[in-house]
Amino acid sequence: MTQVVEPELDRFERSRVDKFESRRGELADATLETLGELGFARTSLRVIAQRTAFSHGVLHYYFRDKVELITFCVRRYKEHCVTRYDEVVAQATDADELALMFADALVVTMQEDTAMHRLWYDMRAQAMFEPALRPTVADLDRQLEEMIWRVVKAYAVLGGRTTAVPSLTAYAVYDGLFENCLSRYLAGDEAASDQLREGAGWLITTVTKA
Amino acid sequence: MTQVVEPELDRFERSRVDKFESRRGELADATLETLGELGFARTSLRVIAQRTAFSHGVLHYYFRDKVELITFCVRRYKEHCVTRYDEVVAQATDADELALMFADALVVTMQEDTAMHRLWYDMRAQAMFEPALRPTVADLDRQLEEMIWRVVKAYAVLGGRTTAVPSLTAYAVYDGLFENCLSRYLAGDEAASDQLREGAGWLITTVTKA
DNA sequence: CCCCGTCCTTGACACCTGTCAAGAGTTTGT
DNA sequence: ACAAACTCTTGACAGGTGTCAAGGACGGGG
């Protein structure tokens, strides 16, 4: 009996859950888009809903409250960007090539995913005031640190070098460079991209040593 | 006639203006305190006034609107911190001493002026979304860059070295390190101070070269 | 003494926020 | 075809926001 009925229910249940999750994702994407454009403080549920085919009430059908919606969005965003440079690491055959490809990848993502990066820096700043955001931010920060560290280690291995600083420090300086350039890029500074490229190239030689 | 009356009026006018400016400063200090504690998004005029001896209406007597209040506060804050390390530069007699004193000064200000630094990072993130804030933030950013650059140049001169990167890059990496450590310090990470000290010591040797 | 300018309070305004209950509309199972 | 479950809309709520006009309190000059 259970062998016959349960799979039926499972399939059924799964499709229902899938649909639910799919709509959650749809709403989360609209939320991310709005957050990236307006920033944390200026984004309201009504404005988010305005960018979907639905009305503002639907957000409370799919998410308990604003906090759950936003944490869901951040986790979704995380998956998009936390392995961004892994294929660069995989493809590069020597240290110099890796350095160039990595610097280029940084520039490209700064130019293409500008709004999402800006949102990330906004969220991290908000986390300094709102302890509720800290676990999520700290988790994402750690993953970004590991991502940078994979690049640095790969560069060291390919170039026969060793790392010169802890991964935390390496991440911090790369992040500072990126944030600085992003800020200038947003303000219309044409030189920001080149500064990022050159800064990244210089950094990878200094966080490692012969 | 004019020689007699005008100075009287001037003195009179000056004392009136002085009182006005003094109260503006008083209100701005309360505003800064509140901003540092609550952050940009969560600070309202009523909460600010609650921290003074006055009611919320007084803010519109001394400031045209919220934007003028906040820009006034930021310029006031700027003066406090933009020459913070100049005496370190003046006192140090050799490169190693300068490096140690600078690193210590960074740690001390992170620990003592935590709220103000947090506010600064908040404001800079908000400026990415609000073009109205960008001129003020860009101006302060440039002054901070110059402040760091004075330290780096002094280190280079004392140690018989030359600078290895543009001042923009030097500032960006120092800033990234500081922001990262501040964030961890706020979250209660005991190691943040040491990480900042060591990171700063390492950085000053890498943004210069023999 | 009274008046007038300065300083500050009070109370209101229009608007926006997150939240949620009540109920439509739609799909699904029987 | 009927009923039940799911999906979504509507409208309201309590509270918060920046802003400003009206007016009270105070103090020095006529």
Fold matches, A2-75 and A82-209: yes
Q: Model confidence over B71-104: pLDDT tens digits?
A: 899 888 888 888 889 999 999 999 999 999 999 9
The CA distance from B49 to B47, in Å, is 5
Are the C-beta atoms of residues B178 and B151 closer than 8 Å to each other? no
Q: Which residues on adjacent β-strands are paired with residue A209?
A: A162
Nearest Cα neighbor of B152 from B169, B139, B138 is B169
Q: How far apart, in whole angstroms, are the C-alpha atoms of residue A148 and residue A84?
A: 10
Question: Residue B165 and residue A199: Cα distance in Å, rounded?
Answer: 8
Does residue B58 approach strand D to less than 7 Å at its CB? no
Burial of A59 (0-12, 13-18, 19+ CB in 10 A): buried
CA distance B32 to B26: 10
pLDDT tens, position by position, B32-54: 999 999 999 999 999 999 999 99
Task: Give the pLDDT band of residue A19 (cuts 50, 70, 90).
Answer: confident
Which H or E run includes A122? Answer: helix A114-127
Give the Cβ contact number of residue A203 at 10 Å: 25
Q: Is the pLDDT of residue A5 over 50?
A: no
In this prediction, residue B155 carries a pLDDT of 97
Residue with tokens 């530069």: B89
Q: B53: how many CB neighbours lie within 10 A of its CB?
A: 8
Whether pLDDT at B16 is above 80: no
Q: What is the mean pLDDT of residues B11-23?
A: 73
List of chain A residues whose C-beta atoms are within 8 Å of the C-beta of residue B148? none
- Provide the pLDDT confidence category of residue A2 given band limits of 50, 70 and 90: very low
- Looking at per-residue pLDDT, the higher value among A200 and B5 belongs to A200
The answer, yes or no, to whether residue B164 has pLDDT greater than 90, is: yes
Burial class (CB in 10 A: 0-12, 13-18, 19+), A112: exposed
- The distance (Å) linking the CA of B182 with the C1' of C9 is 41
In chain A, which residues have their Cβ closer than 8 Å to the Cβ of B200? Answer: none
Strand C at less than 7 A from CB of A67 = yes
Using a 10 angstrom Cβ sphere, with 0-12 exposed, 13-18 middle and 19 or more buried, the burial of residue A184 is buried
In chain A, where the domains are located: 2-75, 82-209
Taking an 8 Å cut-off on Cβ atoms, the answer to whether A183 and B126 are in contact is no
Number of neighbours of residue A158 by Cβ within 10 angstroms: 17
The pLDDT mean for chain B works out to 91
Q: Where are the alpha helices (DSSP H) in chain B?
A: 2-38, 45-50, 59-62, 66-81, 86-91, 95-112, 114-127, 134-158, 167-186, 192-206
* A82-209 CATH fold: Tetracycline Repressor; domain 2 (1.10.357)
Reported for B184-187, long-range contacts at CB under 8 A and 24+ positions apart, including other chains, are B185/B110, B185/B111, B185/B114, B186/A128, B186/B114, B186/B118, B187/A134, B187/A138
Cβ–Cβ gap B180/A172 under 8 Å: yes
A65 contact to strand C (CB, 7 A limit): yes
Q: For residues A124 and B37, give the distance between their C-alpha atoms in angstroms, rounded to a whole number.
A: 16
And the tokens for A178? Answer: 């990126």
Q: Quick: pLDDT tens for B134-157.
A: 998 999 999 999 999 999 999 999
What confidence score (pLDDT) does residue A75 get?
87
Q: Classify each residue of B182-195 as buried b or exposed e, where b means 16 or more C-beta atoms within 10 Å of its C-beta.
A: bbbbbeeeeebbeb
Residue type, B46: R
CA atoms within 13 A on the CB side of A16: 6
Q: What does the alpha-carbon distance between residue B155 and residue B110 come to, in Å, rounded to a whole number?
A: 21
Poorest-pLDDT segment among A14-18, A156-160, A199-203, B36-40? A14-18
**CA-to-C1' span, B171 to C3 (A):** 60
Across the range B104-123, mean pLDDT stands at 95
Nucleotide nearest to B67 (CA to C1'): D18
Question: How confident is the model over A24-40, as pLDDT tens digits?
Answer: 999 999 999 999 999 99
Q: How far is the CA of B173 from the C1' of D30 (A)?
A: 66
Round to a whole number and report the distance in Å from the CA of B95 to the C1' of C23: 76
Q: Which residues of B touch A121 (CB under 8 A)?
A: 125, 128
- Looking at residue A74, its pLDDT comes to 87
pLDDT at B12: 57
Angle between helices B192-206 and A167-186 (to 10 degrees): 70
Inform me whether the pLDDT recorded for A78 exceeds 70.
yes
Please give the DSSP secondary-structure letter assigned to residue B54.
S
A204 membership: H or E segment, kind and range: helix A192-206
Tokens representing residue B81 in the block: 């911190």
Beta bridge partners of A208: A163
Cβ contact B14:B7 at 8 Å: no
How many angstroms separate the CA of residue A15 from the nearest CA in chain B?
A: 40
Read off the pLDDT of each residue in A88-95 and give the average, rounded to a whole number.
Answer: 94
- Cβ neighbours, 10 Å, residue A11: 10
Asked whether the predicted pLDDT for residue A169 surpasses 70, the reply is: yes
Enumerate residues 6+ apart whose C-beta is below 8 A from A8. Answer: none
Structure-block tokens of residue A114: 């500008």
Indicate the CATH number for domain A2-75. Answer: 1.10.357.10
How many Å lie between the alpha carbon of B84 and the closest alpha carbon of chain A? 20
| Mean per-residue pLDDT, A151-172 | 97
Residues A148-159: what's their mean pLDDT?
Answer: 97
8 Å CB contact of A202 and B176: no
Q: What is the pLDDT of residue B29?
A: 94
Residues of B in contact with A129 (CB under 8 A): 38-39, 42, 118, 122
